[in-house]
Chain A
Amino acid sequence: MKSNSLLNIALVGNPNTGKTSLFNQLTGLNQKVGNYPGITVDKKQGRCKISEYLTAEITDLPGTYSINPTTLDETIVLETLLNESNNSYPDLVIVVAEVENLKRNLFLFSQIKDLQFPSILVINMSDQMIRKGITIDIEALKRELKSEIILISARKNLGIDDLKREIENYENWNTEPIANISDKIDTVFFETIKTTFPEFSLYKSWLLITQQKNCAFLSSELYQKITAFNPDSEKVKKYQHKETIYRYQIINEILKKTYAVDKNEATDLRSRLDKILTHKIYGYIIFFGVLMLIFQSIFEWASLPMDLIDSLFANVSELAKTNLPKGTFTNLIAEGVIPGIGGIVIFIPQIAILFLFIATLEETGYMSRVVFLMDKIMRKFGMSGKSIIPLISGTACAIPAIMASRNISDWKERLITILVIPFTTCSARLPVYAILIALIIPDERIFGIFNLQGLTLMGLYLLGFAAAISSAILLHNVLKIKTQSLFVIEMPNYKLPSFKNVFYEVVEKTKAFIFGAGKIILALSIILWFLASNGSEKFKNAAEYVTTQESAKHLNDDVLNKKIASYRLEHSYIGTMGKVIEPVIKPMGYDWKIGIALISSFAAREVFIGALATIYNVGSDGVGSGTIKERMAAEVDSVTGEKRFNFATGMSLLLFYAFAMQCIGTLAIVKRETKSWKWPILQLTGMGALAYIVSVITYTILS
């Protein structure tokens, strides 16, 4: 008995079997999301007390129909089960099946059994057996599968204790394989495999041979041994086909003896709902309505908590400034760290609301219908119906959106989706848009109903989608990647969403954002603060320089202090950087101060506002007075005396932010997901060039 160490349990199962519900029941909030070493897919793990003496570390593996992967997510299942040196290599496997489609679930179970793990079959949603007219002879099924079986209902928390009790006994489980693939397919061939890899189960060796390209973890020695086999791909396909047929033969035999379903199905809710939700007119109207609802809520519901967070952090910063002893450290806290954390926290309401909707829609089964409805349209743009969810998520944050593209099996469709996501208007652009619109667009109504500012914001959203779609069309025609469509999606049964599952999903996604993107934003705010409050020799002796320069004018202290502060900013490190790029950004209508904000927001857009706040704050007299907006409105061009943020400059900035790729987090995630620098660099330069050209043209025409 493994007494001192943790028991590693892998949770495997088809999608929509309630695997995640079981995971949530077993682990509660005791979950963490980590990364698989080498690859970036999130690993969901949680602790569970099996008995007084036994604690288990449970890994919730992505849902899959087979160990043979078709998407990146599914590759994780293969890797976890084959790579003995990974630290979540399971001591035992729980296979979650659903009572209604037991046949297909047993296919996966038979593969796991053949890998000879101690494994247990958990049949979920057993409470629905009577309603669906299903009877299972559990004792007979146990005998036929040579396995332990537990009936549960994860949502109702039934059978979980039975499962834990059975797990205690895992060392006595039968680990014989179910399917004897060698005899049924090619005895000679498989005998050679057996003798070459005596240390592995036959099925494992076969998987290693057929899935070489998905097994990055192999040692070079083993890799050579495997490539020595190199059966041609036609043979592999033929044998996989035979294997599949053979497995279903066995399963059908078993189920014939143990499983019965009364064909008189009750009224078919599924087909009636399908007829409406995928209808050629109503289907699109409903989908459009759902989209509107999501966007509306992101704005409406999130604005109150966002305002609260904004003023809360402003107050805390003010409080820190007045109450802590004066000095560099206090400045760092009050002007660097606190606003930095505020800049992260402010996005939580929008991200949480968005994922609340997405998780709910996925739970109900509606998302698959959207994929079905939109696939043909999206293909015209070189994407897949499955691209819809990432593109919608992109309106919150591109980082989780790009990760959501992992279930697109076609590489070209996935790549295009990843490349165009950053055009969708993410929530980091919102504060920038909001403040610029407030500055340059009058708060008036046209036709008595439409608010001009609201219309501009909507226009920018549409512009983002239009840019995403047009660049997708362009990429579709330019990228010469030939792929064969692997598009198969399951249309799951409709069901009521489980509050618990939705809640956990929202918590997980929000946490992933805070700890992923948040770290970068915080780090940058601190760097920015440092660059603005340090500088060359002229910066340090600003007071002397200014006093001598202006000595003839007999200025009062107040004006003099302002002059010193702005002189200081000009000669800080960041001021110097702003001056350096001024010639380049002049055609867009910006001066070096906006240049500073541009440089800082290159890493994350929302830093723009914070940077301007810092600049105009530092630039005045060091004491904040009025809101950022008031300070920006008061700013004038030192040469012409015109307002700094006039219509031309404002529009040029808006469009620049609509198109430019200013997010280090996104670039990093694209690099990881595409395993190449080529694509993030393409995004950076392509989007940057587009933004620059559009802004220059806009400014030239408007000014």
Chain B
Amino acid sequence: MGDTIANLKIGEIGIIQDFCLDAIPLNLLEMGCLPGKEVRLLQIAPLKDPLYIKVNGSHLAIRIETAKQINITKLR
């Protein structure tokens, strides 16, 4: 437990559990980054930040500080 998107390794998939609403930009939710959705980490930028993810059919880049706020359970 205690995993966030920031803990995923490249290629790994997690299911979004919850997040602190205040820490997440509304537009990220509106792009479909919502509890119950699958997130796959596609790539990490060379300096470890931002992260390139696929969620709800969208390919997005988010900063690690945002990624750390989104709790997930890893799929194995």
Contacts and interface: CB of A to CB of B under 8 A. Distances in A.
Nearest to B59: A491
Interface string B44-62: 0111111010001111111
B2 interface: no
A104 B34 contact: no
Contacts of A100: 57
Given A104-B58, A274-B52, A487-B66, A372 B27 contact: no
Given A66-B30, A103-B32, A278-B43, A490 B23 contact: no
Contacts of A238: 21
Contacts of A375: 45, 49-50, 61, 63
- Interface hub of A70, A238, A241, A279 (most chain B Cβ within 10 A): A241
A372 B65 CA distance: 15
Contacts of B46: 278-280, 283-284, 373, 376
Given A375-B45, A487-B63, A104 B27 contact: no
Contacts of A197: none
A328 interface: no
Nearest to B29: A244
Contact of B45 (A234, A373, A486): A373
Contacts of A278: 43, 45-46, 52
A104 B57 contact: yes
Interface in B1-39: 21-23, 25-32, 34-35
A279 B60 CA distance: 17
Given A271-B42, A278-B46, A372-B61, A66 B52 contact: no
A372 B23 contact: no
Contacts of A68: 26-27, 30
A104 B23 contact: no
* Chain B residues touching A, majority SS: mixed
Nearest to A486: B25
A65 B61 contact: no
A75 to B, nearest CB: 13
Nearest to A492: B59
Interface in A193-237: 234, 237
Given A274-B42, A278-B52, A485-B66, A491 B61 contact: yes
Chain A interface bracket (under 10, 10 to 19, 20 to 34, 35 or more): 35 or more
B49 to A, nearest CB: 5
B52 A488 contact: no
A491 B52 contact: yes
Contacts of A377: 47
Contacts of B59: 270, 490-493
Interface in A644-691: none
B27 A486 contact: yes
A489 interface: yes
Contacts of B22: 234, 237
Given A68-B27, A104-B57, A485-B65, A376 B52 contact: no
A445 interface: no
Nearest to A278: B43
A372 B30 contact: no
Contacts of A491: 52, 59-61
A484 B61 contact: no
Contact of A488 (B23, B61, B65): B61
B57 A103 contact: yes
B30 to A, nearest CB: 4
A334 to B, nearest CB: 55
Contacts of A271: 42
Contacts of A234: 22
Interface string A77-121: 000000000000000000000001101100100000000000000
A376 B48 contact: yes
A102 to B, nearest CB: 8
A245 interface: yes
A70 B27 contact: yes
A275 interface: yes
A107 B29 CA distance: 11
A234 B42 CA distance: 33
Nearest to A240: B26
A283 B63 CA distance: 19
A385 to B, nearest CB: 8
Contact of B60 (A283, A385, A488, A493): A488
- Nearest 9 pairs of A and B residues by beta carbon: A280-B46, A376-B47, A486-B25, A491-B59, A66-B30, A376-B49, A70-B27, A244-B29, A372-B61
Interface of A: 65-66, 68, 70, 100-101, 103-104, 107, 234, 237-238, 240-241, 244-245, 248, 270-271, 274-275, 278-280, 283-284, 368, 371-373, 375-377, 385, 409, 484-493
Given A372-B61, A376-B47, A491-B52, 5 more contacts: A240-B29, A485-B63, A487-B61, A487-B62, A487-B66
28 contacts: A68-B26, A70-B27, A101-B57, A103-B32, A103-B56, A107-B30, A237-B21, A241-B21, A245-B34, A248-B34, A270-B59, A271-B42, A274-B42, A278-B43, A283-B46, A284-B46, A375-B50, A375-B63, A376-B47, A376-B50, A486-B27, A487-B66, A488-B31, A488-B61, A489-B61, A490-B58, A491-B52, A491-B59
